[in-house]
Chain A
Amino acid sequence: MATTVHEPPKIELDRLPSQGSGNGGSRNLFPADGDLRRVKDHAPPPASTGIWVGLAGITMTFAAFTSALIVRQGSARDWQHISLPSILYLNTLVIIASSVTLEVSRRRIAAFMGGLKDKTKTPGENPARWLYITLALGLLFVAGQTFAWMQLRSQGFKLATNISYSFFYVLTVAHALHLLGGLGGLIRVIGKLNHAVLKRSTLDATSRYWHFMGVLWVYLLVLLWMKL
């Protein structure tokens, strides 16, 4: 058996080696031609890929819930139309606003980090306050969802009252639980930012997760509005 030796890809100064040929993962040190060379950043760091993988898993979970809803709706005549609590629409605005504030925050933090690296520039204001606003909006959303559940319960509409309510509670609670994970991520980002150990990849991954929660909520609201 003959073989051909392929040299490892050369590392260019201005361009990272493609992920397809392996980039050494989270390490900053790359061996190249016997020398050690500092690479500026990685493309992509594991957090960046990992968040997409995680979101794929969450997508599958809610796809399963959705298909369950559709199959269950078509299987019997006990499906009941329900009026969604009005506060859900306000909550929708809140979670959209939180995505906007997070995006503002993300950009300001990027500029802030750039300012810290470039010693010739004066760093701007600490951008953590936009993260606090996002966090507050996230908590407001959870409070609003809780209010909606309590409102329905006070009207006698509980989890087992009707299958429509069952799906309403299951979908909204499942979303809220995932959103709590996003709130935890935001708190972690704030902590890291305050201790000046925040990585860009962590911020980006948290942002993507949060935006996904917003998109997921809009999807769920449309689904609930159409199907329930």
Chain B
Amino acid sequence: MYKAAMLAKDLVAASSKPLVLSILADGESYGYEIIQKVRELSGGHIEWSDGMLYPVLHRLEREGLIDSEWKEADTGRERKYYFISAAGRKVLKTERQQWLTVHNTLGKLWKIKPVTI
């Protein structure tokens, strides 16, 4: 049975931005939850090291694409929640178009049905 391989390091790094922005576009989240979501959605094929996520989140925050806020969770422990900014939504739209362009180009080559934007 075919088993998808783990993603190459470069591809993991390149996809981190659209992945984080897409997750946050659905609602605010925190580091641990984002990693769990990526692991779950990719079926375990995209494996982020936990420590690697935070530099990415902080970079996106410096770029003004996401914002953050410390809030008390249900457990009583404080967590830093991230949420997407208006600028982040715009960048996500562009990223989405670019990734779908790549996807559709490869799709044509591999005879896969194209995805509309």
Same assembly: no
